[in-house]
Amino acid sequence: MSERRGRAGGGSDRKAAGEPRRASAYAESWDGLARGDALDAICAGADPESFEASGREHAGQIRRVLEPGSSVLDFGCGIGRIAKYLAPHCRELHAVDVSAEMLARARKRLAGLDNVRLHQVDGPALPMLADGSVDFAYAMLVLHHLAKQDAFLVLREFGRVLRPGGRFFANFPNLLSARYTAVFEEYASRRERAAHRVRPWSPDEVRWLLGRLRAEPLHFAAGDEIEVLGRFGSS
């Protein structure tokens, strides 16, 4: 399960909008990108056809490790790139994002999928989800757009909301690959510090993160992308 550039998330419940709140730096950044070219912001260089193809592909990859009738969390859902194709195979899908602009587009894109719940967040916490209420959680092309401390907090929330034995998927750009070494150096050279910027990880950093969270990797692969399918321990 991998791709190019990912995103960080937030939105509001599609049934009823939440109270106005002060936008975070992440929200302001992604709102601005959504007003420009949301497809390119989510998957760099995507046109409508390739964007949909990537959504179908990633939904298919998740389906292969998803139990039938699952309650699923999509963290950083954007405009519903994956949710559109995954929701028909879930009991319910909670799609979460930090950007109200992205979620407004997701609401239109996912209209008619009655098992989808859109939620806006203003940080890593997931207060709309009870402890142990989700069977599977994923952050696809998302966590590398967060400060590493926030990525830690997001995965810690995964550990809280997942049922015992529930699983999660996350991916990270591999700093040690030639591709993301070049990305790192390009960002450094132009002093890019936008909230949504790409923050590559090394495989050892990801292993450290999993260890601190007492998360067991069931699958760990490090190519251009570091991919993790895992579950959390009991303590």
| CATH number, domain containing residue 98 | 3.40.50.150
Give the structural domain span for 154. 25-232
Up-side HSE of residue 59: CA atoms within 13 Å toward CB? 19
Residue 104 lies in a domain: yes
Angle between helices 25-42 and 48-63 in degrees, nearest 10? 100
pLDDT (tens, 9 = 90+) of the chain, 235 residues, equals 433 444 333 333 433 334 344 458 888 887 787 788 777 667 776 778 888 899 999 999 999 999 999 999 999 999 999 999 999 999 999 999 999 999 999 999 999 999 999 999 988 999 999 999 999 999 998 998 899 999 999 999 999 999 999 999 999 999 999 999 998 998 889 887 777 788 999 999 999 999 999 999 999 999 999 999 999 986 4
Residue 6 lies in a domain: no
Residue 40 lies in a domain: yes
Residue 188 lies in a domain: yes
Residue 223 lies in a domain: yes
Question: Residue 38 in contact with residue 61, Cβ under 8 Å?
Answer: no
Residue 178 lies in a domain: yes
Task: From residue 217, give the alpha-carbon distance in Å to each of 158, 213, 234.
Answer: 14, 11, 14
Dihedral of the alpha carbons of 31, 36, 38, 41, in degrees to the nearest 10: -90
Question: Residue 115 in contact with residue 87, Cβ under 8 Å?
Answer: yes
190 vs 188: CA distance, rounded Å: 6
107 vs 109: CA distance, rounded Å: 6
Residue 8 lies in a domain: no
32 vs 50: CA distance, rounded Å: 22
Q: Which residues are registered as beta bridge partners of 174?
A: 201
Residue 71 lies in a domain: yes
Question: Residue 189 in contact with residue 162, Cβ under 8 Å?
Answer: no
Q: Which two tokens stand for residue 55?
A: 């959504």
Q: How many folded domains does the chain comprise? A: 1
- Among the listed residues 180, 146, 153, the one whose alpha carbon sits nearest the alpha carbon of residue 44: 180
pTM exceeds 0.75 for this model = yes
